[in-house]
Structure 1
Amino acid sequence: MTVFLVIGGIGLVVLLASLVFGDVFESFDIGEGGFSGIAAGVGAVVFGSSGVIALAQDLDLVWAYVIGVAFAVVAFLVAQQLVKRLSDTEDAPPPPLDGAFGMTTSTTGPGGGEVRLEGVRDLEARLAWAEEEIPAGTRVVVVGVSGSRVQVTRA
C-alpha cells in the first residue's frame, strides 16, 4: 500500500505545482503538443488512489497494480488530450503596433483622438494622441504605445 500512497502523493505534488507555477514539463517537447505535467500528475494520483481502493477491497497485490496502471493510463490520456485541446485554443500574442500605418478618424492632438489602423487584427480603431494637432482623414504612423492607446505622427 505504501507504493500507491507514495506515487499518488508525488502525483499530487506534480499536479499542484503544474497548476500553481505553470506546467512543469512544458520545456520538454515530447510527442504531439508536449508532455503535460498536469496529465502526469492526474495519472499518478489515479494510480495511487485506485491501487489503495483495490487493496482496501481485499484484492491481491497483482490486481491492485493492474487496476492502478489501467486507470492511470486512461486518466493520463484523457487529461493529456484535454490539456492539448485547451492549449490549441490559446490566442496568439497581439502584433506589435510600432510602425503601423492608419488614418485619423477624428482630430487627434495632445488631448487625444482616434485612429483606424491598417492590418491590425485585434482592434482596428484605437484611442490616440499626437504631439501636434492632426486633422481627421490624415494618414499617420504609430510611434509609441501606452496600454491600448497609441501615439501617432503624420506619415
Structure 2
Amino acid sequence: MLLPFLIVGGLGLVLLVISLVLGDILDHFDIGDGAISGTALSVGLVVFGASGALITTTGLDLIWAYVLAIVLGVVAYALSALAVRNLTNSSDGVPASAVGLSGVARSRITTAGGEVSLEGPGEIERRLAYSDEPIGEGSRVTVIEHLGSRVKVIPG
C-alpha cells in the first residue's frame, strides 16, 4: 500500500516546487492570519509521503506506517514553519544604504567600474563601484550614491 504515500508525497513535491518558484501560495489566501505556510505544508507532505513509503518497506503493520509518517510529517511541518517564520521576520526587504561609508579601492575605479571594500556594519567583502573620475587601487574612497548592488564613490 505505497500508493497513498506516493500520491501525498508527490502532491507535496509539486506544491513545494510551486512555492519555491512562485512564492508561498497560501500567503495569497490569508489563511489563519499567516499561521499556515504553504512551503512548510509542502515539506510536511513530502516527509509524510517519503517516510510512509520507507516505513512500509520495513514490514511493519500499515497502521504503524501511517502513525509514524503522520508524526514525522507534523514535526517536519513545525520545523519548516518555524524556519520560514524566522526568515520572514529577519528580512525587512529594504537594503541598508551605503551612502556615507568609507573604504578602500580594491581595483582601479573608473566610470566603467571597479571594486571597493567598505567599512560598515554588515558590509560584504567587496562591492562593485564606479566613479566619475579615475581612482587608483588602494586609495581611500567615500560612497556618495547607492544604486542596487553598485555604489558611486569619490576619492577620500
Residue identity in the other structure for 1:122: S
The 5 Å alignment of 1:116-127 reads 122-123=97-98, 125=100
Q: Distance in 2 between matches of 1:49 and 1:125?
A: 52
Contact 1:26 / 1:36 at 8 angstroms: preserved in 2? Answer: yes
Residues 87-112 of structure 1, C-alpha deviation per residue, up to 9 Å, x if partnerless? 00112447xxxxxxxxxxxxxxxxxx
Contact 1:23 / 1:37 at 8 angstroms: preserved in 2? Answer: yes
Name the TM-score, length of structure 2 as normaliser. 0.59
* Residue 74 (str. 1) matches residue 49 (str. 2): no
Instruction: Figure out how many residues of one structure are paired with residues of the other and give that number.
Output: 108
Q: Which stretches in structure 1 are left out of the alignment for 5+ residues? A: 95-120, 127-145, 150-155
Give the superposed CA RMSD. 2.8
Higher share of residues assigned helix:
2
Q: Distance in 2 between matches of 1:35 and 1:28?
A: 10
How many percent identity over aligned positions? Answer: 41
Q: Distance in 2 between matches of 1:82 and 1:5?
A: 25
Contact 2:27 / 2:34 at 8 angstroms: preserved in 1? Answer: no
Q: Distance in 2 between matches of 1:22 and 1:79?
A: 15
The 5 Å alignment of 1:63-142 reads 63-93=64-94, 122-123=97-98, 125=100
**Offset of residue 147 of structure 1:** 4.4
* Residue 43 (str. 1) matches residue 18 (str. 2): no
The structure with the largest alpha-carbon Rg is: 1
Residues 54-75 of structure 1, C-alpha deviation per residue, up to 9 Å, x if partnerless? 1100111111110110000000
Name the TM-score, length of structure 1 as normaliser. 0.59
